[in-house]
Structure 1
Amino acid sequence: MLTPTLTSRLPNVGTTIFTVMSNLAAEKNAVNLGQGFPDFDCDPTLVTAVSAAMIKGLNQYPPMPGIAPLRAAIASKLEALYGHSYSAASEITITAGATQAIITAILATVHSGDEVIVLEPCYDSYVPNIELAGGVAVRVPLTPGTFRPDFDKISAALTPKTRAIIINSPHNPSGTVWSEQDMLSLQELLAPTNVFLISDEVYEHMVFDGQLHQSAARFPGLAARAFIVSSFGKTYHVTGWKVGYVAAPAPLMAEFRKVHQFNVFTVNTPVQHGLTSYMANPAPYLDLPAFYQRKRDLFRDGLKNTKFKLLPSEGTYFQCVDISDVSDLDESAFCQWLTAEVGVAAIPLSAFYGNGFDQRVVRFCFAKKDDTLNAALERLAKL
C-alpha cells in the first residue's frame, strides 16, 4: 500500500528552535532559560477553583464564545484598565490560548493574496498563520539594537493589498514596550486605511519601572479596527492550560466567531469557571509587574558579573544580551555552545527573523524560580 504524496502548505517550516534548544538542554542537563514558560507553580487558589468546577459537574460544552460570566469579567477588566467598554455578549471570545486567537483572527480577515505586515523579530506563529490563510507576509524590521518601531518603514510597506498589521507589545523576544506616542503614531498612520490591527498583548501585565501598558484598547482609532489578544496562561503562570481571549468590535468579532466555531468551537469548561472565580480578585494581575520586575532585577544584577552587554528589558519575562564581547560565534552556534559547555540554554534572536538576521543578541527567560536563576547565574559567571 502506497501513502499518497502530500504537498506541504508550510514547506519551509521545520522543528522550532525552542524544541531544539529544550531538547539540547535536557540532553546536557543545562538550566533551561530558553523556552518562555515558568518553572514554578501557579496560585493554589486557582487550581482549587478549577477543581471545584469539575466536582460541581461543570464538565460539558460551554457556549461557543465562552461562558458569559468570564466574558463579563474580562470586559470589566478592560474597561477598568484601559477605559474602553466592550460588550461581553458580542465583543469578547474565549480562545484556546493566544496562538489560536491569532490564527483565528488572521483566517477571519485575510484572503488569498492579501498582505499582512509583521514586525521582525516576531513570534514564530505569525508568518505560518498568514501563509495558511493564503496571505503574503510583508516583513518590516524593528530598529536593530533598540527594537523600536520605524514608522517610515511601516508606512512604506502599506499598499492597497495590505489587509492587516500584527503588533506585539510588550514585545517577545526583545522585551521592548511600545510608548503612548508609538501607539498614537500607529493610529495616525492607519487612520486613512482599511487595514485591520492584530494586537498581541499577552504580556500586558508585565511592564516595568512604572510604565503603563499601552493597549490598543486605549486608542479609539486603533480599538475600532483591532483584534486584541491576551493570555491567561501568561498572566496566571498556567501556560499549559492554553486559555486566552480576544476583544474586538462586534462586526469583527462576528467574523472571528465564524472561524472560531469551526477550528476550536469552544474552550475547556471547568477552567473557564475557575478563571471567572479567580478574576474576582484583581491583585494577581495588578501585582504581576512587581513580581517579574524583582526577578528581572535579580537576573540583571547577576549578569553584570559577565561580559554580556545587557539590553533594556522594559516588559515581558525576557532579557536580551549582546554576546559580542563573549564570543565570535554566531547567535545560533553560541546558544548551542552555551548549552553544551556552560550549561545554560538561551535562544538566538536570529530565529525570530525570516532571513536569520544575526545581530549578536540572544534571549534568556527569567520566568523561573530564584534558585533556577541563581544556578544559571553561577554558571554564566564563568563568562
Structure 2
Amino acid sequence: MNKLLTIMSFVACLLFAGCSDDEPDHEANLFSLAVQLEGEGELAMGIHDCEIIVPGNQQYISIDIIGDYDCFRVTAVPDIGMVTSGDKRIKILLTNNLGETSQTGTLEFTVYKGKSWNKGTVTVTQRALSSTKPDEPEELPDKYRFKLVKAGLTPFMYDDFRVPAPFDNLAFQIRDYLDRYNPFGFPEFVQSYDSIVWSAEGMPNTVRIYERKTGDSSSEEHFTAQWSSHFFTPGSMKSYLKGYYDGKVIYSDSIRIDRYERDFLCFDWTKGSICIDNPRNMGVYCLLDKSREYSVMDTREINGTRYSEIHARNNKSLPDGEYLSISREVLVKLMRENIGEGVSAKNKIQSFNCVPEGVEGELFWENKTTRILLLHELPSDTSLEEYYLLIEAK
C-alpha cells in the first residue's frame, strides 16, 4: 500500500506541475465524469462524484475527467486495486476479491484552473468473488423466469434499413418464459425479485426495469415492459437482464446487440433519405451511457453534396459557458471511438462544400466515403457559441 501511495504521489506531482503557480482561492464547476467499466457493474453517477458496485472478478475501471481545466491532482487513492493516471483519465485495476466480504475504497482528486478548483470522488465497492456466482436458473420455477427480447428497430430518418447502425433506435422487451409480452400491470414473474436490471458488456450504466422498495409502513413498485436506446458505436456486445433478490443474482437472460456501420454511423449517402424542407434534430441517447447525449440533423443536400450535423446535448443542464468545453470533449470522444484521433483542420476545410459562415474548423477526420470537421461556431447576434460536427459525403 505504501508503494502504491508513493507511485500515485509521484504521478500526481507530475500532473500538478503544469498548473498555475497561483494559489487556488475559490471553487468552480470545472468538470464532469464519464466512467467506463471493462466488465459488469452498477453505477450511480453525479456530475463530480460516482459510486460503483462491481462483481468480485478482475476488471479495469476507466474514469474520464471531462472539462476545460489546467490539470488535476489525485489526493487520495482507494485501498483496493491499483491506480494509474494520465491525460484527463484515471484507471483502477481491480484484481479478484478472494475474501469473504465486499471491499470498498474511495478515490479523491482535485481539478484546477487558474485560481479556481473543483473536487471529485469515486467510491468503488467490489463484492467477494464467492458471492458473485448466480444460482443456477434450473432452481427457479418456470413461472418466475423471463426473457430479454429485441422488439424493434427505428433507423435514422425512418429509412427502410433492416440492420441496425450506430444512432439508430433499438427497442427491447421483457417477456415471460412462454414468450408472452404484458405491457400492463405487474406480470407474475416479478414476484421473485427485488429488482431486474438491464446492463451490457463494457457499458458504464445500468437500468432498473423492475424495482420493489418496502419501508416500515409503505411499499413502492415500478415495472417497464418495453424500453429503447441508441448506441454510439458499431460492434457486438452481450446484453443482460438480471433478476436480483437480497442483493444476489438469482436468474438472468442475455442476447447479443449487433450494430453495423453504414457509410459513417447511421448515414448512408446512397440509399438514405434527404430532407428537402424543415429538417429535424433527432435526439440520440444511450440508457447505458448517461454521460453524454447527441442530436443529429436530418440529411440535406447542397450542390450535389449530402451532409448532416451532430451536436452535443446538454443533458446535465449546465450553464452554456460551462458546457462549451464539455461539448467539445464528447464530440471528440465520439469521433475517437468511431474513426480515431483527428488531425488539424488547417488546409482541410477548403475540401468541404457545406461549411457555413461564422465558424472555424479545428479538427478533421475521414474514411472512404465521408469527411468530418469539428467546427467552432463563434457567438453572434443570432447564435450562441458552440462546437459541432459537420458530416459530408465525399
After TM superposition, is the score higher than 0.5?
Answer: no
Q: Indicate the TM-score class for this superposition, using the shorter chain for normalisation.
A: under 0.3
Larger radius of gyration: 2
Structure with a larger share of its residues in strand? 2
TM-score (normalised: structure 1): 0.25
Taking CA–CA contacts closer than 8 Å with sequence separation of 6 or more, which of the two structures ends up with the larger relative contact order? 1
TM-score w.r.t. length of structure 2: 0.25
